[in-house]
Amino acid sequence: MKSSQGKMENKWNFQGNGELKVAPAITIRGVLTMMMQNLNTDDQRPVIPLGHGDPSAFPCFRTAVCAEDAIVDSVRSGKFNCYSPSVGILPARRAVADYLSNDLPYELSPDDVYLTIGCTQAIEVVLAGISLINPVANILLPRPGFPFYDTRAACSNLEVRCYDLLPEKGWEVDLEALEALADENTVAMVIINPGNPCGNVYTSQHLKKIAETARKLGIVVIADEVYDHLTFANNPFVPMGTYGSIAPVLTLGSISKRWLVPGWRLGWLVTCDPNAFLQNSGLMKSIKGCLDVAPDAPTFIQAAIPQIIENTKQDFFLKTVEMLRSAADICFDKLNEIPCIMCPSKPEGSMFVMVKLNFSLLDDISDDVEFSLKLAKEESVIVLPGVTVGLKNWLRITFACDHLSLQDGLGRIKAFCERHAKKQ
Ligand SMILES: *Cc1c(COP(=O)(O)O)cnc(C)c1O
């Protein structure tokens, strides 16, 4: 087809019919890529990555040797080169059921466990499953939160309503506001505990209140516990499933964070529902349907799971938690020395802290994105602008890196803030 200028008309220039629902600007990866592109290549100093949560790049955060051995044994056995059933292989499902039951007041069965490609795919199938039972369904997400939920919901045309976490209350859920957001089409609420991006850990009492609210509203609690047991302050990790008898809980998790192997891509979706509220529900049928059409977690990784869980010693977990505890201390102390950065609470779990920027003390920086871009350019330090996780003019800082790099990075942030401080 020729246009009036005689040029070939480009029929392939698909533009869609509106705003893109998945654009790099609204994913953590997209924003971090933008920060990396803004680095000054003449800076001889190493780049300090305080933006994303993958400590496996640091030698001090290497996984347990027995976990590596389990993978090698699994491959060498030659028995796991086959396809997996869509729910996962039985020994691995049983191992995960037993692992999670250790912290619950009831026993999970292997049939409660569905193995997925990391926690990421567990999120995908749950949100897709919800969107397919009801075209006007909605879910309640925390703000600040983990943007993958928003983006993934958009891919499924699933309506999202955000409820606030309260910084002055240790980032607890604003339950009153949450109740006001819900209606008859609300299917579920998501909590992330231990928290990303806030580094908070919920008390048992708060989790119980969440369960009671979910019961009142007749909704499911989706508990993202990918940072399970990574806690290092007063509140121990309590699984949401503890209150599964009050309201049904779908627990999402993986070995990515606790075992420091996000590249192994092994996660789970688990029904913590001792009263079988969900047993014959359309929701579970829909989620299982989605699992059937989704790719499966690699069979040889699944096959290594029983050994990984059984053989990893407490020493390994304690070492990781100790390292995170001291990193959180360093981070909190150093950040408190910087006048334009306000840190509402010391991180108690996961690998992150949220801090608020005070622009009245800064001269030539007007928002969190500009702060992060200039910091990357001038100091070769990467942090995540808060707008990415739903809180404009905050920053998410990761402390899961080796202590020397962390101190170096925080020192550079301090120097940056001093250089840009408003002159009195
Ligand atoms: C890292 C992370 C995930 C994804 O976990 P994978 O097992 O690596 O897929 C999910 N939710 C939260 C809150 C995370 O921080």
What the chain holds in terms of domains, given with CATH numbers, is 28-61+315-419 (3.90.1150.10), 66-311 (3.40.640.10)
pLDDT at 9: 84
Please check the confidence at residue 4 and state whether its pLDDT lies above 60. Answer: no
Give the integer Cα–Cα distance in Å for 398 and 50: 5
Does ligand 1 have an atom closer than 6 angstroms to the CB of 256? yes
From the CA of 230, how far away is ligand 1's center (Å)?
Answer: 13
Q: For the chain, what is the mean pLDDT?
A: 95
Does ligand 1 have an atom closer than 6 angstroms to the CB of 224? yes
Please check the confidence at residue 408 and state whether its pLDDT lies above 70. Answer: yes
pLDDT at 101: 98
How would you classify the pairing of strands 381-382 and 48-49?
Answer: parallel
Nearest partner of 113 among 306, 261, 259, 300, judged by Cα: 306
Ligand 1 pocket test: pick from 56, 256, 384 the residue with the most ligand atoms within 8 Å of its Cβ.
256
pLDDT at 24: 67
Does ligand 1 have an atom closer than 6 angstroms to the CB of 301? no
From the CA of 257, how far away is ligand 1's center (Å)?
Answer: 8
Does ligand 1 have an atom closer than 6 angstroms to the CB of 286? no
Please check the confidence at residue 3 and state whether its pLDDT lies above 60. Answer: no
Give the integer Cα–Cα distance in Å for 260 and 251: 19
Give the integer Cα–Cα distance in Å for 241 and 276: 13
Give the integer Cα–Cα distance in Å for 341 and 357: 5
Please check the confidence at residue 424 and state whether its pLDDT lies above 80. Answer: no
Looking at residue 362, the DSSP 8-state letter turns out to be B
pLDDT at 169: 96
pLDDT at 334: 97
For residues 169 and 52, which has the higher predicted lDDT (pLDDT)? 169
From the CA of 225, how far away is ligand 1's center (Å)?
Answer: 9
Does ligand 1 have an atom closer than 6 angstroms to the CB of 192? yes
pLDDT at 2: 52
pLDDT at 365: 95
Residues in the chain: 424
Model confidence at 107, pLDDT cuts 50, 70, 90, reads very high
CA angle 196, 198, 199 (to 5 degrees): 80
Does ligand 1 have an atom closer than 6 angstroms to the CB of 226? yes
Least confident stretch, 13-17, 215-219, 225-229: 13-17
Please check the confidence at residue 149 and state whether its pLDDT lies above 90. Answer: yes
Segment 203-229 mean pLDDT: 98
pLDDT at 296: 96
Model confidence at 63, pLDDT cuts 50, 70, 90, reads very high
From the CA of 366, how far away is ligand 1's center (Å)?
Answer: 31
pLDDT in tens, 238-262: 999 999 999 999 999 999 999 999 9
Q: CB–CB of 155/317 below 8 Å?
A: no
Please check the confidence at residue 220 and state whether its pLDDT lies above 60. Answer: yes
Does ligand 1 have an atom closer than 6 angstroms to the CB of 119? yes
Segment 49-67 mean pLDDT: 93
From the CA of 119, how far away is ligand 1's center (Å)?
Answer: 5
User: What amino acid is encoded at 179 in this protein?
Assistant: E
pLDDT at 13: 80
Nearest partner of 399 among 333, 311, 319, judged by Cα: 333
Segment 77-92 mean pLDDT: 97
How would you classify the pairing of strands 352-357 and 394-398?
Answer: antiparallel
Model confidence at 312, pLDDT cuts 50, 70, 90, reads very high
Please check the confidence at residue 27 and state whether its pLDDT lies above 90. Answer: no
Please check the confidence at residue 15 and state whether its pLDDT lies above 90. Answer: no
pLDDT at 14: 78
pLDDT in tens, 373-386: 999 999 999 999 99
Does ligand 1 have an atom closer than 6 angstroms to the CB of 112? no
Does ligand 1 have an atom closer than 6 angstroms to the CB of 349? no
Question: Which residues have C-beta within 8 Å of that of residue 100, sequence separation ≥ 6?
Answer: 108, 113, 239, 241, 251, 253, 270, 272
pLDDT at 10: 85
Give the integer Cα–Cα distance in Å for 162 and 149: 11
Exposed, middle or buried by CB within 10 Å (0-12, 13-18, 19+), for 335?
buried
254-278 as b/e, with b when 16 or more CB fall inside 10 Å? Answer: bbbbbbbbbebbbbbbbbbbbeebb
Ligand 1 pocket test: pick from 146, 252, 261 the residue with the most ligand atoms within 8 Å of its Cβ.
146
Does ligand 1 have an atom closer than 6 angstroms to the CB of 120? yes
Give the integer Cα–Cα distance in Å for 63 and 354: 27
